[in-house]
């Protein structure tokens, strides 16, 4: 069966520091991969998605970037964090075929001080 | 511009009764709809989905209804159980090549009272 791992579970970072969140998927190959952010009291907002190694699409302008160095690895990064980057970050995967649901990791709670 | 709306932030239901969660959307290009359940400090868990060629899909205690003309979908949970207490999100995606670009509602907190 497929599993998705996301770490760390919580992270406290000072303003201006760099960020690297990692997500890996097991038990499948060539998945679509996604990064979402959930602000307090809001729904999930799609930040980035990837349909293959090195292929990244950004959905909203922001201070973050994403990379996919391997088929089942998706990384969310920032060179300098802002206070507004605080939130709950979720990684998800789905099969390439249309009509299949996305499956989420357990998320990272990021607090910027 | 909120393309997917869940107008009830919270809902309280007696155990054993039916829970009905509602969701409205504005984008007529949406073709695939999903419901997720979320517990605190966890990622959302997929519950059930429906494509626009159907108006109903059932899976055990969960049924999703889609009314395309009204741009409305609902999730019915029968009978409701205490473990169903969670935040429920509806999501929608247009028909596109490649990845699904899901748009989520704000969520409805469901509380099942014993």
Task: Quick: pLDDT tens for B1-26.
Answer: 689 999 999 999 999 999 999 999 99
pLDDT at B98 over 80: no
At B96, the pLDDT band (50, 70, 90 cuts) reads low
pLDDT at B97 over 70: no
Residues in B touching A97 (Cβ below 8 Å): none
Are B16 and B77 spatial neighbours (Cβ–Cβ below 8 Å)?
no
Q: Identify the CA nearest to B61 among candidates B2, B109, B101, B112.
A: B112
Check A44 against B98: CB less than 8 A apart.
no
Restricting to A residues 23-52, those with a Cβ less than 8 Å away from any Cβ of B are 32, 34, 41-46, 49-51
| Out of A43, A90, A92, closest to residue B107 by CB | A43
Check A94 against B98: CB less than 8 A apart.
no
Give the pLDDT confidence score for residue A59 in this predicted structure: 87
- Cα distance between residue B113 and residue B19, in whole Å: 11
> Pseudo-torsion of CA A86, A88, A94, A100, nearest 10°?
-120
Check B32 against A98: CB less than 8 A apart.
yes
Q: Identify the CA nearest to B92 among candidates B39, B41, B31, B17.
A: B31
Regions of chain A short of the pLDDT cut 70: none
- Cα distance between residue B59 and residue B35, in whole Å: 12
Q: Identify the CA nearest to B74 among candidates B25, B26, B23.
A: B23
- Cα distance between residue A104 and residue A112, in whole Å: 23
Backbone angles phi, psi at A32, to 5 degrees: -80, 140
> Could you report the per-residue pLDDT of B34-87, keeping only the tens digit for each?
999 999 888 999 999 999 999 999 999 999 999 999 999 999 999 999 999 999
At B99, the pLDDT band (50, 70, 90 cuts) reads confident
Residues in B touching A96 (Cβ below 8 Å): 98
Give the pLDDT confidence score for residue A80 in this predicted structure: 96
Residues in A touching B91 (Cβ below 8 Å): 44
């Amino acid at each position: 069966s497929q599993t998705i791992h996301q770490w760390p579970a919580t992270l406290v970072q000072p303003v201006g520091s760099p960020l690297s969140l990692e997500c890996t998927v097991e038990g499948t190959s060539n998945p679509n991969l996604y990064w979402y952010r959930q602000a307090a009291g809001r729904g999930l907002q799609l930040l980035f998605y990837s349909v293959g190694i090195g292929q990244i699409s950004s959905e909203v302008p922001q201070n973050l970037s994403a990379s996919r160095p391997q088929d089942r690895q998706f990384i969310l990064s920032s060179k300098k964090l802002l206070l507004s980057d605080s939130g709950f970050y979720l990684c998800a995967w789905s099969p390439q075929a249309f009509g299949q649901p996305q499956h989420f990791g357990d998320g990272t709670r990021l607090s910027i001080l | 511009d909120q393309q997917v709306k869940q107008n009830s932030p919270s809902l309280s239901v007696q155990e054993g009764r039916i829970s009905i969660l509602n969701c409205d959307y504005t984008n007529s290009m949406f073709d695939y709809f999903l419901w997720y359940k979320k517990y605190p400090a966890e990622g959302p868990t997929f519950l059930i989905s429906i494509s626009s060629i159907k108006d109903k899909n059932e899976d055990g205690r969960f049924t999703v209804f889609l009314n395309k003309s009204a741009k409305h979908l609902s999730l019915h949970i029968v009978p409701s159980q205490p473990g169903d207490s969670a935040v429920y999100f509806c999501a929608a995606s247009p028909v596109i090549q490649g990845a699904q670009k899901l748009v989520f509602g704000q969520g409805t907190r469901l509380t099942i009272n014993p």
